[in-house]
Amino acid sequence: MTLMPVRALCAGSRGSLVRSLIYQFFAPVAIVAIGGALEALTGYWAFTLLGFVAGVVLAAVFAQRALARLAQLQLIASRQFAPGRAGQVVSWPRDNGDEIDEALHHAEAFVSSASARWAEESERVRHLSNVLDRMRDAVIQVDAHGVVTYGNLAAAKIFGGRNPAGRSFIRVVRDHQLDDLVRHALETGEDGQRTIALLGDSRVMNAIVVRINQFPREALVVLRDITELHRLQDIRREFVASVSHELQPPLGAIKVMAGTILDLQPDNAEVRQVIAAIDEEIDSMTAMVDDLLDISQLEKGSESLRYETVDPAELVDVAISRLRPRAGQAGINLTVAPADALAPIRADGKRLQHALINLVTNAIDHTPEGGRIEVGVTQAAAETTFTVADDGEGIAEADIDRIWERFFKSDRSRSEPGTGLGLAIVKHVALAHGGKIAVESKPGSGATFRISVPDGTRDAAPRVRQ
């Protein structure tokens, strides 16, 4: 801030100020030089002494005058930016009307303009701070060193009534995974999200992390209390699981009784037709109940998984062998994509197998006769990815984000086969493993589904697919 008035001073009266400085610098030197010249002409050393004394006195006068102007300029700036005076103009009369006074008034005009801008920015900052303090969500700003630089009132309430500003972020939240998420966002710029349970507290928080600046690097963390939502989800999950368990015995009993009726009248064609329809509906209901139970378990996350060492190539082979007859009946060519060396991974093999079968079944249901489905698996440095690609009818753009929802069917008449839970199960299997799902499709151009799971505990010995 101290250099900017000098720039304005030079810009406002550069020529006259330069001439004044030259005059004030060289005038004392010239007087001393004249005294020396007179001594050389007359031989009297007193001329040199008088010239030196006069030059020193003149230089002191000029210096005192310049310092007085600079002190005046400093007083203008200090009063202009004093608390409560932002935006108010402090005026000073011209003293002598010389070049320094002119430069001083140029600087004064600049300081007044800068003060007005500073007042506007201060008002915006105060307004933003008031808005953030009225939010129920905690807002925390973290710098590149992992130190909290800002926290709103909600953040202070969450963390013991003390504003977290100035403290290490890890000491504030006491959650290493959230701290890692913030550091990752600071380094890469990638946004992140995580659900955390506060240490020593029953509340559950949804944390969203975004990088807001690159130079200097800063991250913004927003914490939302989802304790009630979490409780309601637990109630819903328990309700679905309870209802599903209660439905299994009567469905089994109905199937047995339908078989008994058929045994009593084996030659009655009408009875056989009705019993066949009952069996089909019971099987459909049983499949739906089983799927609902699976989702209820998977919603618990990784605790619902039974980890073991599994071979990704074998998972693909089993899925293909189980569904090839069905694909053949539909006139669809089901193939396996060539793969490089594949290493075993630690995962829930049964869950992954179920997810892969669901993806292939979905592809068969949406691929016309004569179509082609290709199933493949690849491994990168950090994950294993299963891919199912078909050349069927594709997915409408409006449905892309909804296909993972429960009971969603793109056919609004609900005439599509299946329970509508297959892709929802795929999604929850991936999330329970800490993985991700993706789909690429255009109407009429087929679809490609991917499910990726972390394989950080991959075994060393790879298997080469033949």
How far is 201 from 246, CA to CA, in rounded Å? Answer: 35
Task: List the domain boundaries for the chain.
Answer: 3-129, 135-225, 229-299, 305-454
Q: Could you please report the per-residue DSSP string of 170-185?
A: HHHH--HHHHHHHHHH
How far is 381 from 384, CA to CA, in rounded Å? Answer: 9
- Statement: residue 251 has pLDDT above 70: yes
Smallest Cα–Cα separation from 182: which of 225, 221, 137, 140?
221
| CATH code of the region 305-454 | 3.30.565.10
Find where tokens 């799902």 sit: 437
Reported as a single tens digit per residue, the pLDDT across 263-274 is 888 888 888 888
pLDDT, average across residues 303-309: 86
Q: What's the pLDDT score for residue 275?
A: 87
| pLDDT band for position 169 (cuts 50, 70, 90) | very high
The pTM for the full model equals 0.58
Q: What's the pLDDT score for residue 82?
A: 56
| CATH code of the region 135-225 | 3.30.450.20
Contact 336, 389 (CB under 8 A): no
Reported as a single tens digit per residue, the pLDDT across 383-425 is 899 999 999 888 888 888 888 888 887 765 445 566 778 899 9
Which range among 71-85, 254-268, 327-341 shows the weakest confidence by mean pLDDT?
71-85
Q: What's the pLDDT score for residue 464?
A: 36
Smallest Cα–Cα separation from 356: which of 330, 391, 385, 395?
385
pLDDT, average across residues 116-129: 81
pLDDT, average across residues 45-64: 69
Q: Which fold has domain 229-299?
A: Helix Hairpins (1.10.287)
- Statement: residue 247 has pLDDT above 50: yes
Contact 418, 361 (CB under 8 A): yes
Average predicted confidence (pLDDT) for the chain: 79
- Statement: residue 465 has pLDDT above 50: no
| pLDDT band for position 359 (cuts 50, 70, 90) | very high
Residue 295 is given by DSSP the state H
Neighbours of 304 (CB within 10 A): 16
Which range among 50-64, 297-311, 347-361, 366-380 shows the weakest confidence by mean pLDDT?
50-64
pLDDT, average across residues 266-287: 85
Tokens, residue 319 = 């899925």
Contact 409, 381 (CB under 8 A): no
How far is 382 from 457, CA to CA, in rounded Å? Answer: 10
How far is 321 from 317, CA to CA, in rounded Å? Answer: 6
How far is 410 from 441, CA to CA, in rounded Å? Answer: 13
Reported as a single tens digit per residue, the pLDDT across 185-225 is 999 888 988 888 887 778 889 999 999 877 788 999 999 99
